[in-house]
Amino acid sequence: MNSQSLIIDNVAFAKRGERLNGQIAIASCQRLLVFLQSKAPDLSNSSSYILATRDIGFSLVGELDALGRYFLHLNLDAQLNTYCQRCLDSMVLGLKLDFHYLISDKVAGLAEDAFVDDSDDFDLQEPNQSMNLISLIEDELIMAMPIAPAHEFDCSKLAMQAGDKPNPFAVLKGLIKS
């Protein structure tokens, strides 16, 4: 997808109730890539592996509600290749995420607004005629990533069994556990 088309006027998008679905190549998300690569035990061969990560699926829906408020609803479906911080082997981290944004420039006065009741359910976005959707998606994925992703099964025993040869990352593992 042409990244140019992922710059939106967020107020107009919401006002018209527009919908946008697509896939973003991981290569378009440089900050996310760097973040994922930082989890790699061996940086020298991480690039090609990370690039094999599947595209990130997204859908964005704009909404103008009966009270004249502008909303964006973002849904993300990502399968990110990363590294288990327990056994240091590769793993796929599946993230299905929903975000709801209220477009408002009244950040400071929010507490006095009538919609304070739902303010917990929404993140605020300032009105922006050139909102970068890729950038937003990257931010959300980076924030949603666990600090130490790990296999769902107990891989620590496997990691120990694997090693007749000394594991150069054994020291790291000790640090992570403590």
Interface contacts to Zn ion, rule CB under 5 A: 84, 86-87, 151, 155
Measured from the CB of residue 170, what is the shortest distance to Zn ion in angstroms? Answer: 14
Measured from the CB of residue 84, what is the shortest distance to Zn ion in angstroms? Answer: 3
Nearer Cβ to Zn ion (96/157): 157
Nearer Cβ to Zn ion (86/173): 86
Nearer Cβ to Zn ion (125/173): 173
Nearer Cβ to Zn ion (95/155): 155
Measured from the CB of residue 174, what is the shortest distance to Zn ion in angstroms? Answer: 15
DSSP per position, the chain: --GGGGEE-HHHHHHTT-EEEEEE-GGG-HHHHHHHHTT-S-GGGHHHHHHTSPPEEEEEEEEE-TTS-EEEEEEEEEEEEEE-TTT--EEEEEEEEEEEEEE-S-STTGGGSGGGGGGGG-EEE---TTEEHHHHHHHHHHHHS-SS---SS--HHHHHHT-SSPPTTHHHHHHHH-
Measured from the CB of residue 154, what is the shortest distance to Zn ion in angstroms? Answer: 9
